[in-house]
Amino acid sequence: MHTDARTLDNGTVLEGDLCIVGAGASGITIAREFANTLLKVLLLEGGGFEFEQKLQDLYRGEIVGQPYFPLQAAALHYFGGTTNHWAGFCSTFDPIDFEKRDWVPHSGWPITRNDLDPFYARAHQVLELGPYKYDAADWKQNDPERVPLLGDSRVVSTKMWQFSPPTRFGTKYRDEIVKSPNIHLYTYANVVEVEANEGLSAVQSVRIRTFEGKEYRARAKRFILCCHSIQNARLLLASNRQAKTGLGNSNDLVGRYFMEHFEMPAGELALAKPESTGTKLYAMNGLGGPPRGELALTAAVQKENRILHGTASVEAGNYGDEVKSTFQFIDTVMMNAQRAWLKGGKKGPPPIAKALAATAPRTQGPQRFYHLTTRQEQAPNPDSRVTLSTERDALGVPRARLDWRVTELDKRSIRTFYQLLGREMGRTDTGRVQIRDWLLSDDLTWPSFISGGWHHMGTARMHTDPKQGVVDSDCRVHGLANLYIGGAAVYPTAGAVNPTLTLVALSLRLADHLKG
């Protein structure tokens, strides 16, 4: 069932068993798990079914610290959330990503890769991916030309990726949600406060406000915040009438440990014998294309060198190309073009695919030259954080203030990655790696831009100890009996790969926990 919240009477109180705030990848995944059950699910979405500038402006925020994408361009505020323009790159976190690594402060999840495996397999269906297989050998079987580079190396491995069409949750799952008799979807229902009981031990209601000045409440037995990492933190921090520092924040952890993935051009690869080593395994064939590999360092080598986890995408190119970072490449202009393309009936190739095609090699004969683009986790850092700005949005909620920080370990890890990759390529005479100047500078200074992947993680991290994490291993906020967080905000560390497959898996796990 669907209701436009603007049509409700002022002061209405909605009642349900489960209240999900935010209808993006996480919120829609959890809601679908309860479709056609006896539970009454309230799904509160701040936006409508289409992009609207006025609503999107609620995401505008302040950037201090490292320069970052404008917050109103880095996530989308309408039904379907940021999946309305995600690119669909999916891969799994590796076992090492969940481990406590003594060289990575604050690392270690309270769950393992094995715990997530069954949920990853289910998440594949949600995201319309292929078989749940990530071993390069699995994908080589169909095509002998898809042979991994450095296949038997103990240093370098191939990390496989799969591509969602990409699934746009807002269009793919809209009918299912709206037709489900027990899911009550409210659009234009912006939650502006989470309200607890007197003892601050459980949530009683959430307060909703519209641009028309109406206010409602939603009451339920359990609440799940699925507003994306920055907005989840903002909402908890702004719920500060009863708890001065914000709800769930008695240990000053909400908003801290904000993490991104570094996605930056960092080197070039020239194959020594393109005739024998040319392989299509790493080729990108547009959005939604077949699986492909990226180069990575094995877990053993990460441990020996005490570095973070990263991969390098191998993009066919030409010597002397100007290679752009994601920061420069998918900028606001590109996103506006993408949106116009979606609205205009998808005529011609999508703008992102067009841009990728423009980078395709122009030379004849075996491909010799490749650009290497880093994709690396950043170390969790309590000083990298979301707080509240002094400026308020049109609904009276303080805007988010992002202070993104990077560390020496982050850059040293990228540099070591390329040095080890280069040595291994040279030792085996597979090819030669040229490392970009900015990575080699002695003082470990960064270039003027540091490009992220539009991935927001870690503002409500998971830890069994309330002094070290906002949520427990079930994604329940410590100290609040019935409040849960859905999405990448709960990641204690970011892994090397894009976040959505893992956050959908975690959302399915949370839904199963709540069913229990």
Q: Please give the Cα distance from 70 to 59 (Å, whole number).
A: 9
Q: Smallest distance from the beta carbon of 504 to ligand FAD, in angstroms?
A: 8
Q: Which is nearer to ligand FAD, 46 or 248 (CB)?
A: 46
354: three-class secondary structure by DSSP? helix
Q: Which is nearer to ligand FAD, 168 or 463 (CB)?
A: 168
Q: Smallest distance from the beta carbon of 4 to ligand FAD, in angstroms?
A: 14
Residues 6 or more apart whose CB falls under 8 angstroms from that of 169 comprise 23, 24, 25, 28, 29, 80, 81, 83, 84
How long is the chain? 516
Strands 41-44 and 215-219: unpaired
Q: Please give the Cα distance from 483 to 18 (Å, whole number).
A: 10
Q: Which is nearer to ligand FAD, 271 or 475 (CB)?
A: 475
Question: In the complex, which residues of this chain contact ligand FAD (CB under 6 A)?
Answer: 21-27, 44-47, 74-75, 77-78, 81-83, 85-90, 190-191, 226-228, 231, 235, 330, 454-455, 487-488, 498-500, 503
Q: Smallest distance from the beta carbon of 148 to ligand FAD, in angstroms?
A: 22
For the stretch 349-352, contacts whose Cβ atoms lie closer than 8 Å and that sit 24 or more positions apart, written own/partner, are 349/286, 350/287, 352/87, 352/287
Q: Smallest distance from the beta carbon of 87 to ligand FAD, in angstroms?
A: 3
Q: Which is nearer to ligand FAD, 367 or 378 (CB)?
A: 378
Q: Which is nearer to ligand FAD, 384 or 416 (CB)?
A: 384
The structure tokens 């011609």 sit at 348
Q: Smallest distance from the beta carbon of 156 to ligand FAD, in angstroms?
A: 23
Q: Which is nearer to ligand FAD, 277 or 373 (CB)?
A: 373
Q: Please give the Cα distance from 260 to 486 (Å, whole number).
A: 18
DSSP 61: -
The structure tokens 């409210």 sit at 186
Tokens for 371, please give them: 């650009």
Strands 398-404 and 62-65: parallel
Q: Smallest distance from the beta carbon of 425 to ligand FAD, in angstroms?
A: 27
Q: Please give the Cα distance from 504 to 97 (Å, whole number).
A: 17
Strands 156-163 and 18-21: unpaired
Q: Smallest distance from the beta carbon of 427 to ligand FAD, in angstroms?
A: 33
Q: Smallest distance from the beta carbon of 414 to ligand FAD, in angstroms?
A: 20
Strand partners, 326: none
Q: Which is nearer to ligand FAD, 323 or 352 (CB)?
A: 352
Q: Which is nearer to ligand FAD, 29 or 277 (CB)?
A: 29
